Chain A
Amino acid sequence: MINLSGVNTLDKGFEVSVMDGPLSGLRIIDSTTVYAMPTAMYILGDMGAEVIKVENPVASRVRAASVFPDNDPGEKPWNRDGGFHRLHRSKYSIALNLKQPEAVEVFKDLVRTSDVLAENNRPGVMARLGLDYESLYELNPRLVYFSFSGFGQTGPWKDFQGIGRMFELTSGVSQFTGYPEEGPRRVGGAWFDPPNGWMAVFAILSALHHRNLTGNGQRVDFSMYQMGVATVGDAILDYIANGRNGQIMGNRHPFLAPYGAYPCKGEDQWIAIAIENDKQWLELCRLMGSPLWVKSDKFSDGLSRWHNQDELDHHVGAWTSGYYHTKLMTLLSGAHIPSGAVMTAEEVLTDSHMKERKFFEEVTFPPKSRMGSRVYTGSPWKMSQTPSYIRRPPPDLGEHNEFILTEMLGRSKSQIDELYSLGAITKEPVPLPKPEPKKSEAELLAIKEKEVKDGTLAGYDPDYKSKLGMK
């Protein structure tokens, strides 16, 4: 159902035309939580779809990983969490308490006018609310009903809870990852959350292409586990054909050397170098000033280099230690040797290449939120005709209750008032969390200092706002 109500009338001075994004004209209900699916939903929102986040006011937005502007949760911490904001830009928010039948009716009205419903509720929850696929099909046979779960809707593990950071283990990636003498590790935070969201976008679009051809929606069954396993398919075939399991090799490569992270000048500074052929190796030797050791038989060919990696890495590391990482990267990459400085978040955010590509996007919040402006990652691809970009700031809880009920569903002011009085809609969490005592500057500084001392923080930059050009 292509509806053309996607013109943004809410944010003054931020008018968006209907044909602007690749998915302009689509309406999507985001009944998902946590990480992977909210990621999928913000991508669809960045692409121009009208994404309506249906929030449960009883579930807390604020979680252990919350990050507040200057560590100040403020009076309404649920509207100030960067951990939430980064996953919920380009969305509208309606806070519906689905324990109220009137709220379920609002949900159903949204379903009648929407193209996609995405949900990652525990099995049985949607059926209990009367929002299972069969019931919603009656209301809108064109609906793509997207069910996302850890292990899918069938199979012996279907009822198990699954979260992204645990799937690195269960999906088989950790069998390769870690320091060799120590055992498997996880790398990159909740590794499988974003890619599952990304694959979910592909799956949703596939179902929409099917609908363009047939007119019919369907219920998609998506499991995080399978998406993760699909990224190690070549290794599974190695077992099936050769009986071989993965090995933990640190940063090393199964047949290329030198390949790894090498120390650079300064504290905890590193560069990744990947030598993929003889030509690159000879170029590296030249840049190193052709020292005597490179002439040894141990390093004269690729196979010998691979077998003598301990010694090789020692020599290469001794050379890289004399350089700053970004300077060395310019030298190596300029000579067509694959290399990359191991960058901190600050370095990624201020990198000249990322800047020229305008990869990071600045979002200005409404003045009353006192959030100022903040910077978020954009899309890792650019479309020449229908750009994706952050279309609206992350919404406050229930920020668009009135807009959605009035403009999209045609409810009257008195009907909306009644929904508020019933508690079917709200703008505040239920129950209201106890306000945390505001920490003084000195207390906040002491927390940072402790984290630096413990080693979990490399440092902190009081001038971060000006460095990122944020207001």
Chain B
Amino acid sequence: MTKGALHNFRVIDLSSYIAGPFCARLFGDYGADVVKVEHPGAGDMARSFGPFFKDDPHPEKSLLFLYLNYNKRGITLNLNNSSGRKLFKELIKSADVLIEDFDPGYLEERGLGYGSLAAVNPELVMTSITPFGQTGPYKNYPGSHIVYEALGGVMYTSGASDRAPLAHGHPQSLYIGGVSASHSTSAALFARNQIGCGQHVDVSLTEVVAAHHTGPTTRYAYTGEIERRAPHNEAGSAKGGAHFEGVIPVKDGFVGATFQRGAGRRGTLADYLRLVGRPDLLEPEYEESLPAGRLTDEQDQLLLSVLKDWGKYEYFTTAASESWVAAVVQNSGDLANNPHLHERGFYTEMKHPIVGKIQIPGEIFRLPESSFKLRYPTPLLGEHNIEMYCGDLGYSREDLVRLHQLGAV
């Protein structure tokens, strides 16, 4: 195995919370030298957000921060300080990528906008992740996960139509925003080989959700029809959905069931009853392949009743082994112990100076020649100040102390 695929890139991660740090970590996972830059004192806001190790709200024990910031070195830097801004420009000189998520205009006000940084390093790719992007009438509006899912069109079509529209109960929009930022940043690095310079990448989290939810916008642009979340279904199985594709209660949890067998093929109700071991319920008309439409209430009830005594993994592995598309609602504990993930090498042990040894979710995809590796555990606040400022930038230890006392680091 060689070094990671991205090992010749240096990434400055000036972002916080989820989207930016996840984007930067992906670069670190595949070999880039990622330097996490935090404000002295509190650091990344994720340090004050839970969950926390052993429910101890301590800035080095945020599990959210631990998860999103391994494979990075960590330094502190105060952009509101003149020496801090000078140090920042020195860091930028050797950087390939800057990832930041300040409000539009914040860095310009400090003389650190894209134009100023490109003057220092024309090859810099600067990626700005904000709620609404750098332009447009909403650009100064604040954002939040539920705001993106509302404005991106996801909520209106999710949940039941007799209830409030529903967002994901976990900040999915921010994670997928990080993914979108990572591939656009990587493409800008790729373009640099051809055009010889870096550029500014302007990511809008609201547009990330809208770019995700293309079904209803395309439908409107083809037919004028305005899709809505489905009515509540008392039977519960389809959860108001259009097909037998809801979330179905079973003996020890919930499963996802479909009539789909492989890409585009559908099984029949008869096949299904044979699958779940209830051929006694067969009626001749069940041999017909089911139409794409909704099940009748009776069919719905029938399927609910035949599944209720199954265990969730028993159902999932039985159906999936027979090539039916199926799912199992897994919780965090199920995932932590999942044999498939363990056999795939998804988990890696991390040794952290405060938390100790902990199993962390790691490799997302495998590049056999240049793969994921845990290179650095999540840094403590300012852990690599001496290494970066004295080693990389060449300041003396005495000057580092001065910089600290001036409030720059």
Contacts and interface: CB of A to CB of B under 8 A. Distances in A.
Please give me the 3 A-B residue pairs with the lowest Cβ-Cβ distance, nearest first: A176-B169, A464-B224, A274-B144
Contact of B262 (A154, A161, A174): A161
Interface residues of B, number: 162
Contacts of A457: 225-228
Given A166-B326, A206-B6, A456 B227 contact: yes
A68 B153 CA distance: 21
B340 A225 contact: yes
12 contacts: A152-B344, A156-B343, A177-B168, A179-B159, A203-B365, A207-B367, A230-B364, A238-B51, A241-B54, A349-B221, A383-B191, A455-B230
A161 B333 contact: no
Contacts of B231: 454-456
A67 B172 contact: no
Given A82-B221, A157-B320, A261-B167, A348 B153 contact: yes
A170 B217 contact: no
A169 B63 contact: no
A179 to B, nearest CB: 6
A379 B211 contact: yes
A176 B7 CA distance: 36
Contacts of B141: 333-334, 336, 338
Nearest to B211: A380
Interface stretch (A183-191, A299-307, A409-417): A183-191
B223 A70 contact: yes
Given A229-B346, A234-B64, A381-B180, A69 B50 contact: no
Interface stretch (B74-82, B242-250, B303-311, B401-409): B242-250
A169 B329 contact: yes
B273 to A, nearest CB: 20
Given A168-B327, A340-B147, A461-B226, 7 more contacts: A69-B222, A161-B320, A169-B254, A205-B186, A237-B360, A338-B131, A385-B188
A468 B126 CA distance: 33
Interface residues of A, number: 177
B143 to A, nearest CB: 6
A367 to B, nearest CB: 18
A241 B51 CA distance: 9
Contacts of B87: none
Contacts of B284: none
A22 B188 contact: yes
A346 B224 CA distance: 8
B210 A359 contact: yes
B148 interface: yes
B220 interface: yes
A265 interface: no
Interface string A246-277: 11111100110001110100001011101010
Interface stretch (B194-202, B275-283, B387-395): B194-202
B174 to A, nearest CB: 9
A206 B30 contact: yes
A221 B163 contact: no
B51 to A, nearest CB: 4
A220 B212 contact: no
A459 B220 CA distance: 10
A382 B64 CA distance: 28
B190 A23 contact: yes
Contact of A349 (B6, B220, B355): B220
A384 to B, nearest CB: 4
Contacts of B160: 179
Contacts of A25: 194
Nearest to A270: B165
B247 A338 contact: no
A74 interface: no
Contact of A246 (B146, B169, B217, B343): B169
B354 interface: no
Given A160-B321, A237-B360, A245-B331, A231 B220 contact: no
Contact of A340 (B151, B215, B223, B228): B151
B71 to A, nearest CB: 13
Contacts of A276: 144
B330 A172 contact: yes
B91 interface: no
B181 A381 contact: yes
Contacts of B214: 86-87, 194, 376-377
A251 B68 contact: no
A386 B188 contact: yes
Contact of B147 (A338, A384, A461): A338
B20 interface: no
Interface in A213-251: 213-214, 216, 218-223, 225-227, 229-251
Contacts of B272: none
Given A199-B364, A250-B169, A346 B220 contact: yes
Contacts of B343: 154-156
Interface stretch (B35-43, B105-113, B132-140): B132-140
B324 A161 contact: yes
A378 interface: yes
Contact of B199 (A83, A385, A448): A385
A163 B243 CA distance: 15
A102 B26 CA distance: 41
B144 A338 contact: yes
